[in-house]
Amino acid sequence: MPNNTANVALRSPEDIARHLPVARMADTIVIAVLGVILLGALVYLVTGRLPVTVSGHSVVVDRYSVISVESGTSGRIASWRVRPGDVIERDQLLAVIERPLLKQQISATRNELAELLATQEKTTALHDRNVDLERQVLQNKRDKTKKRIRVLVDETQQLRNTSRLSINQEREFFAAQETELLRVKELESRQDAELKARLGRAEKLRLKELLTEEDLFAAREATTDQQVVLAEIDVRHLELNRSRVAAAERYLQSAKEAKEREQAVDNLRRELLQTLADTARLDQEVSEANYKNRLDHARLQRHLDGLNAQLREQSQIRSPATGQILELTVGTGAVVRPGNEIAVIDRHDDSETLEIVAYYPNSDGKKIKPGMSMELMMPSVINPTGSALPLASKNSRTLLATVQSVSKLPVTPDAAALTIGHDYLAQQMVGAGARIEVVATLTLDSEHPSGYLWASGGGVEFPVAAGTSLVARTIIRRHPPLAFAVPALRDWEGF
């Protein structure tokens, strides 16, 4: 029906009140509630704050607590003596390594040592026989030389004594003969002088014919006989001198013989010294041969002992520290080389403070500053998006932490491994791209059994231990909800 009230003249307030529609109380309440909700939503869109986060891989570490056990040698893992989760002590046996090449080398060295000993035994026996024969020859020569020296020395001494005695006796004899001849010659000379004087007187008497011719002849004959006697004395004197010369020659000959014997003794003594030198040389050769044999044996024995020690040392991998086995990175039968990681050990002490090390893409990591909040959750087993970024599990409860430091430059997997203490885990977290390393500390809560602060809400709590991989979300800023609907508002101050 057409509304005719618009054509009615409103002349008084009563007319106005009579023609206005009346609203019900329930409708008024609904409208008021909707207005409040709309106003609240508008206020939330402007003044509310929603977090803007960046995600990355993270791991719980106890700085220098999670360490890698590296193989110090090449070989094949024969057997493991521990399993993940086992608590181990320092220097405990972890694995046994097979070293077939080293065992072959030890066997070859043993054979070489046995051959050396057999060869040395034969050579030594032959050499000892030759040495004994040579020593016997030298000993016989030495004995003969000593005996000859004694004989020559005795003969020389006897010759000298005999010659000295003979010379003394001959000197005494010649002196006595000389004295006797001089005495006789003196007497005969006197007799000759008297006979000559008598002959002179006889000749004078004959001239006077006072003496007969026979007497004169007798005087002359006596004088001649006396001259003969004197001549005989001179002849005896000459013979005595010849005897002296002969005695002197004999003395010289004896002295010469003695000198020759002394020279022979000297030669024999030099021969004796040579035999002694030959004996000493022989002893030296024997000593050198024995020393060389001992040296060769000791060298091979030391080499064999070193190989055995090397086998004992390198066939066993022992724990470098006390802790807990987190992971065995290689299995039984795997071939390892020096420097290969074979296991991961957690040296964590509950009294020490755990840290979070997270790795973010370069673009996201540069937005993170010390003091920002970090949320930690267990990673999802399956990432349906296929993205390289980690995806948190929906059933995980959130652990809270605070950023302490941010690396200025991207880190390499090697640098990350030094921080984490696990090469493989560092490679998985850093990957091939540039990553910023962020270190955060867990927020403590003495009232919670774990000792750390968890975000309110449901979810499954996870064990907080060194080596645990987590998803890290760092809140880099907070924007009003309206800024998410209108991105241009994010550039305004206050948004």
Residue 432 is part of a domain; what is its CATH number? 2.40.30.170
Q: What is the DSSP code string of 443-483? A: PB-TTSTTSB-B-SS--B-----TT-EEEEEEEEEEE-HHH
CATH code at position 284: 1.10.287
- pLDDT at position 360 is 92
- pLDDT at position 358 is 92
Is 11 inside any structural domain? no
Domain count for the chain, please give it. 3
Angle of the 213-314 helix axis to the 100-207 helix axis, nearest 10:
170
Residues 296 and 253 occupy one common structural domain:
yes
* Domain stops at, among 313, 337, 368: 313
- Name the residue among 469, 378, 382 with its Cα closest to residue 428: 469
Is 18 inside any structural domain? no
- pLDDT at position 15 is 59
Q: How confident is the model at residue 354 (pLDDT cuts 50, 70, 90)?
A: confident
- pLDDT at position 339 is 82
Q: Evaluate if residue 20 carries a pLDDT over 70.
A: no
Residues 268 and 361 occupy one common structural domain:
no
Lowest mean pLDDT among 57-71, 106-120, 311-325, 427-441: 57-71
Residues 303 and 319 occupy one common structural domain:
no
| Gap between the terminal Cα atoms of the chain | 54
Please check whether residue 314 is in contact with residue 97, taking contact to mean a CB–CB distance below 8 angstroms.
yes
- pLDDT at position 374 is 92
Report the percent of the chain where pLDDT is more than 90.
Answer: 9
Residues 391 and 409 occupy one common structural domain:
yes
pLDDT mean over 405-423: 83
3-state SS assignment for residue 359: strand
Is 27 inside any structural domain? no
Question: Alpha-carbon distance 87 to 318, whole Å?
Answer: 13
Is 209 inside any structural domain? yes
Q: Evaluate if residue 347 carries a pLDDT over 80.
A: no
Q: What is the pTM of this model?
A: 0.43
Q: What single letter denotes the amino acid at residue 224? A: T
pLDDT mean over 70-75: 83
Is 4 inside any structural domain? no
Is 370 inside any structural domain? yes
Residues 134 and 280 occupy one common structural domain:
yes
* Domain stops at, among 323, 345, 367: 345
Residues 116 and 259 occupy one common structural domain:
yes
Q: What single letter denotes the amino acid at residue 441? A: T
- pLDDT at position 389 is 57
* 246-295 confidence digits (pLDDT tens): 888 888 888 888 888 888 888 888 888 888 888 888 888 888 888 888 89
The half-sphere exposure of 338 on its side-chain side, counting CA atoms within 13 A, is 3
Lowest mean pLDDT among 67-81, 242-256, 421-435: 421-435
Average pLDDT taken over every residue of the chain: 81
Please check whether residue 247 is in contact with residue 174, taking contact to mean a CB–CB distance below 8 angstroms.
yes
Residues 270 and 357 occupy one common structural domain:
no
Q: Evaluate if residue 18 carries a pLDDT over 70.
A: no
Q: Evaluate if residue 386 carries a pLDDT over 50.
A: no
- pLDDT at position 437 is 92
Residues 325 and 306 occupy one common structural domain:
no
- pLDDT at position 352 is 56
Residues 319 and 461 occupy one common structural domain:
no
Q: Evaluate if residue 149 carries a pLDDT over 80.
A: yes
Is 321 inside any structural domain? yes
- pLDDT at position 213 is 82
pLDDT mean over 294-312: 88
What strands lie across the sheet with 87-88, from one edge to the other? 66-70, 341-346, 323-328, 87-88
39-43, 66-70, 138-142, 464-468: range with highest mean pLDDT: 138-142
Residues 175 and 272 occupy one common structural domain:
yes
CA 23 to chain centre: 104
Q: How confident is the model at residue 370 (pLDDT cuts 50, 70, 90)?
A: very high
Q: Evaluate if residue 482 carries a pLDDT over 60.
A: no
Q: Which residue has the higher pLDDT, 180 or 380?
A: 180
Please check whether residue 410 is in contact with residue 435, taking contact to mean a CB–CB distance below 8 angstroms.
yes
Residue-range definition of the domain harbouring residue 139: 102-313
| 71 token code pair | 């193989």
Residues 230 and 307 occupy one common structural domain:
yes
- pLDDT at position 326 is 81
Q: How confident is the model at residue 69 (pLDDT cuts 50, 70, 90)?
A: confident
| 165 token code pair | 């005695």
pLDDT mean over 349-368: 80
Please check whether residue 202 is in contact with residue 219, taking contact to mean a CB–CB distance below 8 angstroms.
yes
The half-sphere exposure of 322 on its side-chain side, counting CA atoms within 13 A, is 2
Question: Alpha-carbon distance 174 to 299, whole Å?
Answer: 83
Residues 283 and 424 occupy one common structural domain:
no
Q: Which helix (H) or strand (E) holds 341?
A: strand 341-346
* Domain stops at, among 293, 313, 333: 313
Question: Alpha-carbon distance 40 to 34, whole Å?
Answer: 10
- pLDDT at position 384 is 46
Q: Which residue has the higher pLDDT, 50 or 21?
A: 50
> Sign of dihedral through CA atoms 269, 274, 277, 278?
negative
CATH code at position 332: 2.40.50.100
- pLDDT at position 1 is 41
- pLDDT at position 385 is 42
pLDDT mean over 111-122: 89
pLDDT mean over 14-37: 63
3-state SS assignment for residue 71: coil
103-117, 155-169, 204-218: range with highest mean pLDDT: 103-117
Is 5 inside any structural domain? no
Please check whether residue 69 is in contact with residue 95, taking contact to mean a CB–CB distance below 8 angstroms.
no
